[in-house]
Amino acid sequence: MPKLKRWYLHLFDRTQADLNWDNPAVRREVAEVVRWWKRRGVAGFRFDVVNLISKPEHWISDDSGDGRRFYTDGPHVHDYIAELVDRAGIGEDLTVGEMSSTSLEECVRYSNPQSHELAMTFNFHHLKVDYADGDKWAVCAPDIPRLRELLSTWQQGMAAGGGCQALFWNNHDQPRALTRFDTTGGAYRDQIARMLAVVTFTMRGVPFIYQGDELGLPDPCYGSLSDYRDVESLNYARILRERGMSDDDILAVIQARSRDNGRVPVPWDDTATCGFSEATPWLAIPPSFRQLNAAAARRDPTSLWHLYRDLIRWRKRHRVLTEGDVRFLPVRDADVIAYERTHGTHRVVVVTSWCARQATGIDAAEVDDLSEITAWATAPLAAVTETVDLAPYQVRVFATASLHP
């Protein structure tokens, strides 16, 4: 701050100064802010990048990175979160922490009930499988074997440690999963959207629906950098230009990575501004969104919107989905992910294809005692003989007969 001749820390935008959580007065005031909202009837709290609140006692230069290893999951973070939850009286409320660059072990501790911290955590490892060499701004095709490894490790690891994982594919900081996992330019949009929905509601944890998931919204893919508003995107476009990248290549990167992808107004109907507002919205609504509107989806009994309703009802009815164990299954194809949920005598097996070709999924022996749920089929169902085979981006669900919707 030039006027005061003082420096201050902001890990993100310069208008977002980091609070000094080592100051007891700051922690008391944050707890009072939470209590203020709780008194007004708020029953759930999401804490943004909450694992970054505890900073090191001494600051040193990071000569081999961007410094995050010094302030991620800091020395007092668990104490501060537990204190906040206790002081604010939200230990019985829904609490979820967004965790930046964290680890499985830390997320188990944050969300294990014995820690008296949070009910569940968001982690983002599974949404970095299309980062070339770990660089967000270097676009590559999704690494599905890596995705399978991450889902398996986190699902089974959180279960073993007694932690709870928030299940999601999209949020306000991410491009749409429907676009990022599609290698065909939209040819299988509906199949991918349905597969992502089924996976969200059949894995272990708590499903989160982000606005537009239930409509199958893709990225807007704006045709000009001037259409984007996200400060991170615009800053990185400048950095890429300084590195010598062409304008066309910069636009392609921003189209794939911008946080604006998840911030386009929701299309409620097919009017000019899709029922969002009579005013011009801050982000342009792509023409394709007019066909993907909520009113049309609600009228169509076969729509993705109705599938989400079916999945919500189904999950609420069966403890195998809300409380069951999870085990990932051996697969025959690198682009297949399969897992089972078990609870007592009940079993559910989910087999998914993440590619635009026919794929061999798992051995038929894995589903011998189960029958297939055909109502959610996204393609003709191949007979199960020696293996469970899959059409492009198909999801197949097998379950104990009593679990069928």
Which tokens is 243 given? 């590195």
The CATH-assigned architecture of domain 24-305 is: Alpha-Beta Barrel (3.20)
- Provide, rounded to the nearest whole percent, the portion of the chain with pLDDT above 90: 91
The residue from 98, 130, 366, 389 that is catalytic is 98
Contact between 113 and 60 under an 8 Å Cβ cutoff? The reply is no
- Provide, rounded to the nearest whole percent, the portion of the chain with pLDDT above 70: 100
CA distance 97 to 184: 34
- Model pLDDT for residues 52-107, shown as the tens digit of each residue: 999 999 888 888 888 899 999 999 999 999 999 999 999 999 999 999 999 999 99
Low-confidence ranges of the chain (pLDDT < 50): none
Contact between 392 and 358 under an 8 Å Cβ cutoff? The reply is yes
In DSSP terms, which residues pair with 96 in a beta bridge?
A: 46, 120
Q: What is the pLDDT of residue 64?
A: 85
Is 24-305's fold the same as 325-403's?
Answer: no
Q: What is the pLDDT of residue 1?
A: 85
98 noted as active-site residue: yes
pTM > 0.85: yes or no: yes
Q: What is the pLDDT of residue 85?
A: 98
* Domain layout of the chain by residue ranges: 24-305, 325-403
Q: What is the pLDDT of residue 22?
A: 97
Question: What's the CATH number of domain 325-403, 3.20.20.150, 3.40.50.1100, 2.60.40.1180, 1.10.10.10?
Answer: 2.60.40.1180
Q: What is the pLDDT of residue 2?
A: 87
**Count of CB atoms situated within 10 Å of the CB of 304:** 21
- DSSP states of 61-123 as a string? --TTS-SHHHHTT-TTHHHHHHHHHHHHT-TTSEEEEE-SS--HHHHHHHH-GGG-S-SEEE-
The residue from 48, 62, 135, 249 that is catalytic is 48
Helix (H) or strand (E) holding 167, with range, is: strand 166-167
